[in-house]
Each structure stands twice: as C-alpha cells, then as structure tokens.
C-alpha cells in the first residue's frame, strides 16, 4: 500500500484545548491517517488511550502504521457508533472527543477514490467502500428533483437546476463514470473563471450525499452529552459552512441548556503561517465545548 502523508490542522491548538487529562481516555472520531492522534500521544501519558474511528478501511490501516502506538485502539466504524462500541470495551465516559470533518490528503490525492476534480478517476467519493451508493450511482440513477435538491442544499449551488439538467442530458448518451466526465458536464454550464473549478460545489454536494455526511455529523453531535464526562471537552474542525452551522447551533443549544459551556464563543481559525504552509487549512474553523 502506498504511503501518504497528512498534515493535521491546528494540532497544537486542539491539543492545548482538548487534552485536559494527561492520562485520560479520548476519541478521535475521524482518525484519517492518524496525524492528530500521533501528535496527541506525544503529549499524553503512558496510561492514556485514544479510540480512533474511521469508515475508510484503507486509511485506518495506514493510521495504525503511522501512529504505531499501543495506546491507539482503532475501530472500522463511524464516530456516531462510538457510545455503543466503547460500552462494549467497558468505557462509558471519555475525557475528550475530536471530530476533524475534513477529507484526508489520502482521499483527496488518490485519483482512484474519485474525490478530486484535478485528477481523473472513477466517480466514487465513498468513505466506506462497502457503501452501495457512490457518486456515480447518484448522477446516473437519481431523479432530476433529487439532483437539484442535493446541489442546492449540499453544494449551495445557484445554478443547481441547469447543472442537474445537463447531467440528465449527458447520462442519456452514456453513463457518467469518471470525475473528468462530470467536471466537463458542469463546465459546459458554468465556464471556468478564476482559480476555483466550477464543479467544486457539485463535487461537494455529491460527496455529502453519498456519505450522508450531515446526518452523521448530527448523530455524532447527539452522542456528546452521553459520551463526555464532567469537565470533558469536544473539539470539532469544520471546513464548509453547512457543517459549521450545524456545530455552532448545536453547541449553542447545549450551552443554553446549562450542561455545557462554550470554550470559544467564536470559531478559531488557523494562523497565517499554518495556512501559508498548508493551503488545505485555509477554510478550517475550530469550535470547542466543555461538559460542566
């Protein structure tokens, strides 16, 4: 298996805010290639444990190799299943939870996974390769109104209807099977202007839809009250407005109910220096909350 590297975003800031107990139990709900966990373990004691969850089996295997530490206990599962899987390990409460809701570099840079507009590959976009619904399934079989809905709701795409109609026309000729084919269809409706590819929002919408990302975020947020012990914290990194709005509103609700307090009222963002070194950090927003 090829080796991929992933630069964890805001790792030091998250560790400062999240790792309140050096010998504690933590959940990395989006383990990816293990970048955050590997850094956290340099700051944690010998008794500490990190339970790492990821739906991407290949990424999980690479994370184990990258971290190479017995304090990491990996699970091939969604972070929304954390309470029940931890209960099976005899663990009811944890000291901290991290959810990094961005894609890993492995997913973005591997053309075979179909996430990137920049390199041609199969139109896939699934985190879990056992998921029966891929991006190709959506563009080739879903009804016009459903395509318009996801492009509008998940891609915040103003030309959703025009793009959906173009997809319907193209698939009548032949099924869309590659990222390049889809990008070309979108580009026929939205000519390229500036640095951002016109299909960026369409790709985002398809990725969110086939992985049920927003539903999973909602389920994961709902787990926090039963998962965190008193004084425990949750740190969530988001990369687009849909997820950030969900997190912001849910954190606000928990704080108003009086069982949590906001550690930062406004989202924290990466430093100029970090963005300069890692362009993928530029849209990151970090929100942290603590169980009272």
* Tens of pLDDT, residues 93-131: 999 999 999 776 666 667 888 888 888 999 999 988 889
pTM for the full predicted model: 0.88
Domain shared by 85 and 21, yes or no:
yes
* Tens of pLDDT, residues 155-205: 999 999 999 999 999 999 999 999 999 999 999 999 888 888 999 999 999
Quote the domain boundaries for residue 65.
11-106+213-291
Token readout for 220 is: 């994961």
Distance CA 126, CA 56 (A): 8
pLDDT given for residue 113 in this prediction? 87
Query: Which of 189, 211, 233 represents a domain boundary (last residue)?
Result: 211
Query: Which of 194, 211, 228 represents a domain boundary (last residue)?
Result: 211
Q: How does residue 6 score in pLDDT terms, banded at 50, 70 and 90?
A: low
Domain shared by 282 and 142, yes or no:
no
In a domain, 3, yes or no: no
pLDDT given for residue 2 in this prediction? 46
Q: How does residue 5 score in pLDDT terms, banded at 50, 70 and 90?
A: low
Query: Which of 191, 211, 231 represents a domain boundary (last residue)?
Result: 211
Domain shared by 38 and 163, yes or no:
no
Percent of the chain with pLDDT over 90: 80
């Amino acid at each position: 298996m090829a080796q991929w590297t992933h630069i964890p975003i805001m790792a030091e800031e998250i560790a400062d805010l999240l790792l309140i107990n050096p010998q504690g139990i933590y959940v990395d709900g989006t383990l990816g290639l293990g970048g955050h966990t590997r850094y956290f373990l340099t700051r944690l004691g010998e008794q500490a444990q990190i339970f790492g969850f990821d739906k991407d089996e290949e990424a999980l295997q690479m994370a184990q190799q990258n971290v190479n530490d017995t304090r990491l206990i990996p699970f091939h599962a969604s972070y929304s299943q954390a309470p029940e899987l931890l209960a099976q390990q005899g663990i009811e409460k944890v000291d901290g939870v991290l959810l990094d809701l961005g894609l890993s570099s492995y997913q973005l840079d591997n053309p075979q996974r179909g996430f990137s507009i920049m390199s041609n590959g199969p139109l896939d976009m699934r985190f879990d390769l056992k998921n029966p619904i891929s991006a190709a399934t959506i563009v080739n079989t879903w009804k016009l109104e459903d395509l318009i809905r996801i492009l509008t709701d998940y891609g915040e795409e103003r030309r959703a209807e025009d793009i959906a109609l173009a997809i319907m026309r193209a698939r009548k000729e032949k099924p869309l099977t590659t990222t390049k084919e889809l990008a070309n269809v979108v580009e026929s409706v939205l000519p390229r202007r500036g640095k951002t590819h016109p299909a960026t929002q369409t790709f985002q919408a398809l990725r969110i839809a086939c992985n049920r990302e927003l539903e999973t975020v909602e389920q994961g947020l709902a787990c926090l009250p039963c998962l965190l012990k008193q004084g425990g914290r949750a740190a969530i990194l988001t990369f687009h407005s849909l997820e950030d709005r969900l997190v912001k509103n849910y954190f606000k609700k928990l704080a108003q109910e009086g069982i949590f307090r906001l550690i930062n009222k406004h989202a924290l963002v990466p430093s100029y220096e970090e963005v300069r070194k890692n362009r993928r950090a530029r849209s990151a927003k970090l929100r942290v909350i603590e169980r009272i």
